[in-house]
Amino acid sequence: MTNEISTGCIYCYARPAHAYMDLSPGLDFETRLFFKPNAAELLEQALRKPGYRCTPIALGTNTDPYQPIEKHKRITREILETLQRFQHPVTIVTKGQLILRDLPLLAEMAADGLARVAISVTTLDNGLKRALEPRTAGPAARLRMIEALSAAGVPTSVMAAPIIPALNDSELEAILSRSRDAGADQAAYILLRLPYEVAPLFRQWLAEHYPHRAEHVMSLVQQSRGGRDYQSDFSQRQTGTGVFAQLLEQRFRVSCRKLGLNQIRSALDCQRFTVPPKAGDQQSLF
């Protein structure tokens, strides 16, 4: 663990992990970070096991793999280098501009069918971004990330997430359109999730930043979550239920169809996976 600043997205569903470690899901989550300095080494050990079967590895499904700490720890970079040596496919979800540091490597992997990236675009409003996602790249920068990745041949998706009722849901179509224009070929969205300790933190944030809208926002959230702040059922937690959730899904599908998103998805190549010789292995000399 290290005392460094992280991105501070108030809605982040990784916050309860700090509570599990008897730390605050609020301030500690943003200032006391956990990391595995030997992550790439452990990954290589797993990939070398005789029974390992290759399926795409996803980075960024809990916390962003391009947190500010990555700039000098280079853990994500080492993981990507390991995956490339094994010709192992990877997917990445991020909102961090630091991914552009690894663009040459990702372009090489993508050329072999081994990489796909999704950029999270929550809002096109700089003011909302600053309040909702402090210490993260702005909307224009994220669109430029999509453009740069796509131009380099890396298949790139847009993740419109989280969609927050009565706060940023009206931007859905614009986010999809701007991202498509930047080069995204795939799209997805996630309705706001408020598990465990995240719900009271988000309610407090709403009361501070949008006091006149807070009650309406939470009313729509609960209408989409069976009358509660959150539903953990896997089949519902991404998109919700009820009238608002159904309309949101319809809007998403219509927009994707009009924009030509999600028409063709090329599968990542698991057949290229190979275990390279270990450093110093006599076999590597022949």
Quick one: pLDDT at residue 286? 42
Question: Cα separation of 103 and 152, whole Å?
Answer: 8
What is the rounded average pLDDT for all residues in the chain?
Answer: 92
Half-sphere exposure of 269 (CA within 13 A, CB side): 13
Quick one: pLDDT at residue 284? 47
- What is the reported pTM? 0.92
Quick one: pLDDT at residue 33? 81
Quick one: pLDDT at residue 165? 98
Query: 2-258: which CATH architecture?
Result: Alpha-Beta Horseshoe (3.80)
Per-residue pLDDT tens over the stretch 67-96: 889 999 999 999 999 999 999 999 999 999
What phi, psi does 158 have (nearest 5°)? -110, 135
* Other Cβ atoms closer than 10 A to 165: 23
Peptide bond into 162 cis (omega under 30): yes
**Residue ranges for the chain with pLDDT beneath 70:** 1-7, 280-286
Secondary structure letter of residue 276 according to DSSP: P
Q: What's the maximum distance between 2 C-alpha atoms anywhere in the chain? A: 72
Q: Domain ranges in the chain? A: 2-258
